[in-house]
Structure 1
């Protein structure tokens, strides 16, 4: 069976189209994240139109977490698909307010409504894309949640219309040959996201979190996209000297603790005997726990590993790397945010002893990807650097 993974140019974000099948006519398609608006307009849209014209569908649209660089393209996709349907989306996975917080039939007073509308009108952080493409007024329904309701999509129905989390369901069958194994988030990670929402509302002078108004969904999505921006650390200074691999390996590890990244939907896509690991921006501690449930003993060899959080060192611990390995690693970023991928991440991936040749794929050429294009290192540690920065942006398994 042919499997293709298209890693679109999503700037510092993620957008992956996975297609598989015995024949062109019988192909199945999954879309994980949509990058920015221009990711959709310039690259993704034409492929989705082609899928629709072929009579096929998107089996799943998985929006891993609320972050502009993962979901802004989905807003444009859903808006246009709602206006004139060009592709069938059978199921959407997306966690928002209505899935995390208790909903009651309560009337929102004017003060509460004013605060929610203020958050919604703020929109998404305006960066990494053309201003005109991102500014879609709130009155038109700018959030993913609003557009999913408008388009009457099947939304989290694999999880009984509740939150996507491992306690709710850990395995979803696409067909007898294909399963998705959920690794993240769990309820604890989602509780942290809920607490962030409540704390932020208090900062705005609001002390409420109950209600089933769509305003809550929209405000939740907008507010958390800005929280992620605040959480981004100042880019590290690139050293004037070339560090040795030994120095990179000695860098102390500190796990990412942002609530938004911790809420990421991470999963294994198993197609027959092929296993693909998509880590979104997930925290490594939870991923290790979930992988032990999936296979307790030994290292799990995947056919592909999409590295978490654009290669951030805070999202790939030694414990995680002891549990996973692959001949193919995929890192999605243009390096413009936080100087990702971190050199420490790549050093830890490539220096482990291996019986096979590791190929590291990047969808952009970055300073830190080029840093590892050293013939002596590649020969000693049995790895190579590859780029998907030109059409067709595709890996084939």
Structure 2
């Protein structure tokens, strides 16, 4: 059975449409993140309309974490689908305020409501918009959570309407396919909750009381800005390192952002094919979870979607000792934080293997071009493949 992975040009974001099935009538579809608004408008919407017109449905819409480059396209998708119903979404995975709070809804005082409304009106960061480029940012004041409630979608029902969490590690899709969760765990979700609570204290607002829908919306907006704070001053990891030896000696410094740590990362298994989707997850937790998935030896995947657009903070020697593949996918245009980091690529290509590695990039970047050297390609037995900034279907 073939597995088709459609990779969309999502700027510095992620958007993947996966399909598999013995026949067209039995084909199952999964959508992982939605990139920006123009990712949806230019490419994704037409594909989803075709699937819907053909009688297909989305088995899962998986929004890995709250970050503009993963969910802004989802806001436009849900808004349009609520109005037009061009495709049925069987289940949505998306963690927000209601999945972190154990408190029941209660009354909210006028002051608290005013503060939350102020946060919501602030909307998403607009940094991605460029002069003359339209449709990148989502509508301000609109959130995934509000649209899911409006559209009455099944939301985290695989987890009893609680947070998507590795406490339930395996979710069956069909007789031939399943998802094995690797992230987040309770500790990562608790860190996200504490970040939210601390941020609200600065506004003199409470965390555990009030209308959860209002809190869902404020939560989504506030955390998107928290991620922006981290991106304002990116680390210049590769500023001086130029040779492979220097790149390999760069000290590893694991990503510690709460939003990335809350990423939904997983193994998708379809018959005997295994694909690793790492979102922006933290490598320490991924290694722990993979040892539970398969304790002994290195796990060879049919595809690895590299975490956090190739950021060196989301890969580690322990992780690379545990995983390998003939196919690595890095999704980014390199315009934020200069991803992918050279260190990440250097560590991937220099490991010994009995097979030829293919590195797939949906955009040409400065750092991808850096490794497009004939001597290195031959010595380390890898090749670089560009997807021409167009949707590309990888068939496994």
- The TM-score bracket by the shorter chain reads over 0.9
| Secondary structure, counterpart of 1:175 in structure 2 | coil
1:134 is matched with: 137
| Secondary structure, counterpart of 1:31 in structure 2 | strand
Q: 2:315 & 2:238 partners in 1: Cα distance?
A: 21
Structure 1 pair 137–386 and aligned structure 2 pair: CA distance change class (3 A):
closer
Is the Cα–Cα contact under 8 Å of residues 98 and 212 in structure 1 kept in the other structure?
no
Q: 1:266 & 1:131 partners in 2: Cα distance?
A: 31
Show CA shifts across 1:314-349 (max 9, x none).
000000000000000000000000000000000000
Q: Name the Cα RMSD after superposition.
A: 1.5
Query: Offset of 1:99 from its aligned partner?
Result: 0.3
Match status 1:345 vs 2:348? no
Query: Offset of 1:210 from its aligned partner?
Result: 2.3
| Secondary structure, counterpart of 1:298 in structure 2 | coil
| Secondary structure, counterpart of 1:256 in structure 2 | coil
1:245 is matched with: 244
Show CA shifts across 1:113-159 (max 9, x none).
01100010011111324466535243xxx100000000000000000
Which range moves more in the overlay, 21-30 or 146-155? 21-30
Q: 2:263 & 2:61 partners in 1: Cα distance?
A: 14
1:267 is matched with: 266
| Secondary structure, counterpart of 1:333 in structure 2 | coil
Which range moves more in the overlay, 225-234 or 372-381? 225-234
Q: 1:312 & 1:239 partners in 2: Cα distance?
A: 11
Show CA shifts across 1:177-231 (max 9, x none).
1000000000000000000000000111223432343100000000000101111
Q: 1:260 & 1:241 partners in 2: Cα distance?
A: 29
1:231-380 matches, within 5 Å, as 231-232=230-231, 234-237=233-236, 243-380=242-379
Is the Cα–Cα contact under 8 Å of residues 101 and 210 in structure 1 kept in the other structure?
no
Q: 1:207 & 1:37 partners in 2: Cα distance?
A: 32
Q: 1:187 & 1:209 partners in 2: Cα distance?
A: 18
1:219 is matched with: 218
Q: 1:137 & 1:66 partners in 2: Cα distance?
A: 15
Q: 2:138 & 2:145 partners in 1: Cα distance?
A: 17
Query: Offset of 1:37 from its aligned partner?
Result: 0.6
Match status 1:90 vs 2:90? yes
Match status 1:166 vs 2:169? no
2:383 is matched with: 384
Which range moves more in the overlay, 228-237 or 334-343? 228-237
Is the Cα–Cα contact under 8 Å of residues 102 and 210 in structure 1 kept in the other structure?
no
Match status 1:177 vs 2:176? yes
1:201 is matched with: 200
| Secondary structure, counterpart of 1:253 in structure 2 | coil
Query: Offset of 1:24 from its aligned partner?
Result: 2.7
In structure 1, runs of 5+ residues without a counterpart are none
Is the Cα–Cα contact under 8 Å of residues 11 and 128 in structure 1 kept in the other structure?
no
2:24 is matched with: 24
Q: 1:109 & 1:17 partners in 2: Cα distance?
A: 43
| Secondary structure, counterpart of 1:395 in structure 2 | strand
Is the Cα–Cα contact under 8 Å of residues 73 and 138 in structure 2 kept in the other structure?
no
Is the Cα–Cα contact under 8 Å of residues 37 and 135 in structure 2 kept in the other structure?
no
Q: 1:57 & 1:382 partners in 2: Cα distance?
A: 40
In structure 2, runs of 5+ residues without a counterpart are none
Which range moves more in the overlay, 275-284 or 99-108? 99-108
Is the Cα–Cα contact under 8 Å of residues 265 and 280 in structure 1 kept in the other structure?
yes
| Secondary structure, counterpart of 2:358 in structure 1 | strand
State TM-score, norm by structure 1: 0.96
Give the aligned length. 393
Query: Offset of 1:22 from its aligned partner?
Result: 2.2
